[in-house]
Structure 1
Amino acid sequence: MDRSGTIACVISDIFGEQFQPPAAMVLITAAAALLVVLWDALWRPARNVVTIVHEAGHALVALLAGRRLSSIRLHSDTSGVTVSRGRTDGPGMVCTALAGYLAPSVLGLAFAGLLLSERVGVVLVTCAVLLLGVLVMIRNLYGVLSVLVTGGVLFAVSWLATEEVKAAFAYLITWFLLVGGVRPVFELQRKRRRGRARDSDADQLHRLTGAPGLFWVGMFAVINTGALAVAAAWLLVP
């Protein structure tokens, strides 16, 4: 067996130009993602994916800021907690707290850029690497099950589906992260109004910086809706 040829084929499959979907597929996957986010019965289980990316954002930025990552926990109410050790204040802690609510939209925008360049394989591989990284740091049973189920779906599509289905799945993931990155911001503010989110990322940022929690919620909303608008311009405008 020519191993170098096999490796070259794998690299080509991942990084080479791939199936370019018709405009109808892009629109259908966008509509499907919007339906999942707006319909509560679908949103509740699907929100676990947003939580995984949210906590992965905290974890990655914590590591980049020089903090020591201790654990990630995902809960059945779709909340999550990432614990890192280091200074309890300063820019590193601010960036770590800031990253969570922005992570799904930023990742969705990055995926939109890859899809614009017809890099479906890179999108799927990035999802796999993210899930593996989170799985290593998960410290509760529900979190392990949540990541394994998500990874199982990703594996099935990546290895068993046709190129057309892979492309549709990559677009669905991208739209879901972009649209799904917006809804939790408004859910956060509703909880804050009711006094049920005193330890939220926005309130942690308030304690770290002195800027009001509402300022940070507004920043999340502006950045995430902006990412959605930019991605829509890339993917929907001919």
Structure 2
Amino acid sequence: MSVRIVVVDDHELVRAGFHMILDAQPDMEVVAEASDGAQAVEMATRLRPDVVLMDIRMPRMDGLEATRRLAGPDVRDPVKVLVLTTFDLDDHVYEALRAGASGFLLKDLRRDDLVNAVRVVAAGDALLAPSITRRLIGEFARPPRPEERPTPELGGLTAREREVLSLMARGRSNAEIAAGLVIGEETVKTHVSNVLAKLHLRDRVHAVILAYEIGLVRPGVR
């Protein structure tokens, strides 16, 4: 079965470029394009695509609000949203992840990275490319003051699971975590699953957000 995609961007040439790249894949089909967030919400609600490729800055309704309406914590049947950003201009990536996005891409990415990212998100995984994560989280995740920090129960995590959570938040891939801790990748995957289950988190992206919010790791510290 093909991965069904809605491409959302207010620039026609950008939409056309993404449409052409994705539609050329044998396992992908772009079912619609939208030029703003309101149109994206309407189309995604009606067509129920596997992935919505969402720009942030758009007229009428921006990508943040559209993401919140399609994938936010109060949405009963969320749609997977992959957010696009120019990074140097957009200062809302962190907010987009909190709104329910399954990951984010930089608009200057390579063709193969775009295709792979859509496949990853369609498969139900969160996209946290290590190089992008380090830049974005380091830039946007302001460490909260002690009085602002939530106090989730981390006592349920083992020492190894805390270690894995900390490395995830620093943008390490499963392979990098496995190499650093001298354990197998399957073991890392088990630890990641345990962390998500014990902390009642939807995916890896939200584990990273939590780690920064509670001060387990700090921006700029690797």
Name the TM-score, length of structure 2 as normaliser: 0.23
Instruction: Identify the structure with bigger relative contact order (alpha carbons < 8 Å, sequence gap 6+).
Output: 1
Name the TM-score, length of structure 1 as normaliser: 0.22
More strand by share: 2
Structure showing greater Rg: 1
